[in-house]
Amino acid sequence: MPRFAKSLFGQVVIALVLGVAVGLFFPAFAAKLQPLGDGFIKLIKMIIPVLVFCVVVHGIAGAGDLKRVGRVGVKALVYFEVLTTIALGLGLVLAFVFKPGVGMNVDPGKLDPSAMASYASNADKLTHGGTVDFLMKLIPTSVVNAFATGDVLQVLLFAVLFGCALTLLGERGKPVAVVVDALSLVLFKIMGIIIKLAPLGVLGAIAFTVGQYGIGSLKQLGMLVALYFVSVLIFVFVVLGLVMRLSGFSLMKLLRYLREELAIVFATTSSDAVLPQIMAKLRYMGIRDSTVGLVIPTGYSFNLDAFSIYITLAAVFIAQATNTPVSMTDLLTILAIALVTSKGAHGVPGSAIVVLAATLHAIPAIPAIGLVLVLSVDWFMGIARALGNLVGNCVATVAIAAWEGDIDRERAHAVLNGTHSPEDEPLAEAGSPAVLPGAIPLAH
Which tens digits make up the pLDDT trace of 150-165? 777 788 788 888 888 8
Percent of the chain with pLDDT over 70: 74
368 and 281 Cβ atoms separated by less than 8 Å: no
Length of the chain measured in residues: 444
Percent pLDDT > 90 in the chain is 16
For the cut 90, the answer to whether the pLDDT of residue 220 exceeds it is no
CA distance 363 to 333: 7
438: left (phi over 0), alpha (psi -120 to 50) or beta: left
Which amino acid is it at 279? M
pLDDT digits (tens, 9 = 90+) for 384-430: 888 999 999 999 999 999 998 889 999 999 999 987 665 454 433 33
pLDDT at 432: 38
Q: Give the predicted TM-score (pTM) of the model.
A: 0.71
Q: What is the pLDDT of residue 123?
A: 52
At 310-334, the pLDDT tens digits run: 888 888 888 888 888 877 777 777 7
Q: Please determine, for residue 436, whether its predicted confidence score (pLDDT) is greater than 90.
A: no
139: pLDDT strictly greater than 70 = yes
Cα separations (Å) of 268 from 45, 317, 385, 386? 13, 26, 12, 9
SS3 assignment for the chain: CHHHHHCHHHHHHHHHHHHHHHHHHCHHHHHCCHHHHHHHHHHHHHHHHHHHHHHHHHHHHHHCCHHHHHHHHHHHHHHHHHHHHHHHHHHHHHHHHHCCCCCCCCCHHHCCHHHHHHHHHHHHHHHCCHHHHHHHHCCCCCHHHHHHHCCHHHHHHHHHHHHHHHHHHHHHHHHHHHHHHHHHHHHHHHHHHHHCCHHHHHHHHHHHHHHHHCHHHHHCCHHHHHHHHHHHHHHHHHHHHHHHHHHCCCHHHHHHHCHHHHHHHHHHCCHHHHHHHHHHHHHHCCECHHHHHHHHHHHHHHCCHHHHHHHHHHHHHHHHHCCCCCCHHHHHHHHHHHHHHCCCCCCCCCHHHHHHHHHHHCCCCCCHHHHHHHHCCHHHHHHHHHHHHHHHHHHHHHHHHHHHCCECHHHHHHHHCCCCCHHHCCCCCCCCCCCCCCCCCCCC
Domain boundaries, the chain: 2-424
**Most confidently modeled of 27-31, 144-148, 166-170, 412-416?**
412-416
Query: Taking 60 as the threshold, does the pLDDT of residue 115 lie above it?
Result: no
Strongest mean pLDDT among 95-99, 160-164, 231-235, 353-357: 231-235
- Residue-averaged pLDDT of the chain: 77
pLDDT in tens, 21-44: 888 888 888 878 878 877 877 787
Q: What are phi and psi of 287, to 5 degrees?
A: -85, 135
For the cut 50, the answer to whether the pLDDT of residue 442 exceeds it is no
Q: Give the pLDDT band (50/70/90) at residue 253.
A: very high
Name which residue leads in pLDDT, 366 or 306.
306
> Hey, which CATH number is domain 2-424, 3.40.50.300, 3.40.50.2300, 2.40.340.10, 1.10.3860.10?
1.10.3860.10
Q: Confidence band (pLDDT; 50, 70, 90) for 343?
A: low
Instruction: Indicate whether 309 pLDDT > 80.
Output: yes
Residues 63, 69: contact at Cβ < 8 Å? yes
pLDDT of residue 233: 95
Overall average pLDDT of the 215-226 stretch = 62
Q: Please state, as a whole number, how many other Cβ atoms lie within 10 Å of the Cβ of residue 79.
A: 21
d(CA 322, CA 366): 8
d(CA 367, CA 360): 8
